[in-house]
A and B are shown apart, each in its own frame.
Chain A
């Protein structure tokens, strides 16, 4: 292996390896308190609890992933429909944007107490709370996507007799798709955040719950394992999504490279 190749790809391993090495040494020698900063090797070996089915964290991961998937699914379906519907008129479009700009900076988890009153402390309240911010993002991105379609294309489509469902499915949705896909990626990040935060305060299971209950009994190593799982989910939701989207929508990779 030449030095050049080494510099090409492997150089990116240097930073994390150095960081983890220093952490390991400081923790083993007791300069960092191992109660708070257990050595990375210990965290890795403890990570095997992820594989023990029915033992808590494995189930929690599954539940968190399921919640995120349901949330994002609902956000995409409802958000795209609402987003396209409101672009029918400049009035509904701008008015909706104003309302959503007000809701957007409110962390979704804050709606939990209210929704838990309204619906009871159940799964519906958890999912609806998680839905708030991703839904706002999906609507705004869909609006932006429809706006980005060249008016000339709409004109041409109409002149050639494209109407109703056909106009909607063949012209509007594909035209808005790039923006919608970006919106999905961002919504995915938000739904992960929201689900974890809600699980911390209001659910009986899930990774957020796991993290919170281990905090209460001060099991720090297990907390690091949970954090590791959440970090992997976070990475999957951004890098994994990019890879998938680039495969399904080949033109997207090109657009991203150019921008």
Chain B
């Protein structure tokens, strides 16, 4: 067995074994069939709900909320992060506020947003936005701070001034940290968004699981969970695939599972 095949096997054998064991145990009804459903049936339900049910529109709703919230958070977070990393005054003014609000579970602000902006789209987008925004601003500020003073000095001496300083010098210098911050921001954004939908929305994947729970539709709960897990996985893989394209000068670590994980939310 060559090395890549072996790697691949190591990564996938256990998940596949779990799926097979689950499938046989549920088909033979070793597990209570009210709660444990064969994954084949879950797949059928998923497809059926996507085509005939509301799942398709719920999925689209969640994805568009995610896209909007993340785009806003990325722009605002990077802008404010770079500004507060670059100018001390802005750091003094914003840092106490961002550092206090960062560890606050953003899901707790949802009821407040629901009162202030009503039970529409905006409340959920704002909650998801807040999550990613604080994550991105803090990691961006950190990576601006991490640029070594000698490098900045050299850049200045070679005439990187004004707008050029930011576009040609600072952004390439902080790109790896920035990229990582955005990835983590998107991951936490998704988690909070779906949780917020679960708690209070009428549409979206989170609310679909809540509805299924109230109707005792276990197969739909599974379908929802699998879909959310898939989105998370796809988002993460997309970022990993993009990294070598966007940051070709970075050395890439093939397999660091630990970096998946972040705090906050």
> Using a CB–CB distance below 8 Å, which chain A residues touch chain B?
11-16, 18-19, 36-37, 90-92, 94-99, 101-107, 109-114, 116-118, 137, 140-141, 143-144, 179, 185-186, 189-190, 192-193, 196-197, 200-201, 207-208, 211-212, 214-215, 218, 220, 223-224, 226-227, 230-231, 234-235, 237-239
Chosen A-B contacts, 7 in total, with CB atoms closer than 8 Å, are A94-B10, A95-B14, A99-B14, A103-B229, A105-B228, A106-B225, A190-B265
Q: How many Å from the CB of A180 to the closest CB on chain B?
A: 12
Interface of A is mostly: helix
- B14 near A96: Cβ-Cβ < 8 Å: yes
Main secondary structure of the interface of B (DSSP, over half): helix
The 9 A-B pairs at the shortest CB distance, nearest first, are namely: A105-B232, A95-B14, A113-B213, A234-B103, A144-B258, A215-B111, A107-B195, A15-B93, A193-B105
- Judged by a CB distance under 8 angstroms, whether B100 is at the interface is yes
- Pairwise interchain contact A12-B96, C-beta atoms closer than 8 A: yes
Q: Which residues of A contact B198 (CB under 8 A)?
A: 107, 109-110, 197, 201
Residues in B16-32 with C-beta less than 8 Å from chain A: 17-18
B residues less than 8 Å from A218 (CB atoms) = 115
When distances are taken between beta carbons in the complex, the residues of chain B under 8 Å from A201 are 198-199, 210
Q: Chain A contacts of B199 at CB under 8 A?
A: 109, 197, 200-201
- Min distance, Cβ A83 to any Cβ of chain B, angstroms: 11
Please state if A215 and B96 are interface contacts (CB–CB under 8 Å).
no
Query: Would A19 and B209 be within 8 Å (CB), given that A107-B198, A215-B115 are in contact?
Result: no
A101 engages B111 (CB within 8 Å): no
Query: A192–B264 Cα gap in the complex (Å)?
Result: 10
Min CB gap A107→B, angstroms: 4
- CB atoms of B262 and A117 under 8 A apart: no
For residue B192, which residues in chain A have a CB less than 8 angstroms away from its CB?
107
Minimum CB–CB distance from A144 to chain B (whole Å) comes to 4
Q: How far is the CA of A192 from the CA of B108 in the complex (A)?
A: 10
On chain A, the residues within 8 Å of B9 by CB distance are 91
Q: Does B170 contact A (CB under 8 A)?
A: no
By a CB distance below 8 angstroms, the chain B residues around A102 are 15, 229, 232-233
Q: Contact: A234 with B104, CB < 8 Å?
A: yes
Q: Is there contact, CB below 8 Å, between A186 and B194?
A: no
- Whether A15 lies near B92 (C-beta < 8 A) is yes
| B14, B92, B105 — most chain A CB neighbours (10 Å) | B105
State how many angstroms separate the Cβ of B107 from the closest Cβ of chain A.
Answer: 5
B114 contacts partner chain A, Cβ-Cβ < 8 Å: yes
Q: Are A95 and B11 in contact (CB under 8 A)?
A: yes
Within 8 Å by CB of A95, from B13, B105, B229, B258, lies: B13
| 1/0 contact string of B89-100 vs chain A (CB within 8 Å) | 000111111001
Contact at A99–B35, with CB atoms within 8 Å?
Answer: no
Residues of chain B lying within 8 A (CB to CB) of residue A105? 187, 190-191, 228-229, 231-233, 235-236
Residues of B within 8 A of A98 (CB): 11-12, 14-15
Asked whether B194 lies within 8 Å of A107 as measured between CB atoms, the reply is: yes
Q: Closest CB-CB distance, B97 to chain A, in whole Å?
A: 6
Residues of B within 8 A of A224 (CB): 112
Q: Are B261 and A140 in contact (CB-based, < 8 A)? A: yes
* Cβ B225 vs Cβ A235 within 8 A: no
Q: Is the CB of B103 within 8 A of A189?
A: yes
Does B181 have its Cβ within 8 Å of any Cβ on chain A?
Answer: no
Q: A117-B35, A200-B107, A230-B104 are in contact. Are A220 and B115 (CB under 8 A)?
A: yes
For the complex formed, measure the closest distance between the CB of A119 and the CB atoms of chain B, giving whole angstroms. 10
- Contact: A110 with B209, CB < 8 Å? yes
Q: B42 on the interface (CB 8 Å rule)?
A: no
Asked whether any CB of chain A lies closer than 8 Å to the CB of B71, the reply is no
B10 near A95: Cβ-Cβ < 8 Å: yes
Question: Which of B147-155, B158-166, B216-224, B245-253 contacts its partner?
Answer: B216-224
The answer to whether A14 and B195 touch (CB under 8 A), given A140-B260, A185-B263, is: no
**Which residues of B131-165 have CB atoms within 8 Å of chain A's CB atoms?**
none
Question: In the complex, what residues of B have CB within 8 A of residue A237's CB?
Answer: 103
Q: Verify A92–B14 contact, CB threshold 8 A.
A: yes
Rounded to whole angstroms, the CA-CA distance of A230 and B3 in the bound complex is 49
**Inter-chain contact B10/A227, CB cutoff 8 Å:** no
User: Is the CB–CB distance between B108 and A14 below 8 Å?
Assistant: no
Q: Please report the C-alpha to C-alpha distance between residue A4 and residue B231 in the assembled complex, in whole angstroms.
A: 51
Query: B206 within 8 Å of A by Cβ?
Result: yes
B101 at the interface (CB under 8 A from A): yes
Could you say which residues of chain A place their CB within 8 Å of the CB of B17? 95
The answer on a CB contact under 8 Å between B195 and A110 is: yes
> Considering the chains assembled together, what is the distance between the CA atoms of A91 and B105 in angstroms?
36
Q: For A14, list chain B residues within 8 Å (CB).
A: 92-93
Q: Determine if B261 and A104 form an interchain contact, defined as CB atoms under 8 angstroms apart.
A: yes
Contacts of A208 in B (CB 8 A): 108
Quick one: given A16-B96, A105-B233, A197-B105, are A114 and B14 in contact (CB under 8 Å)?
Answer: no
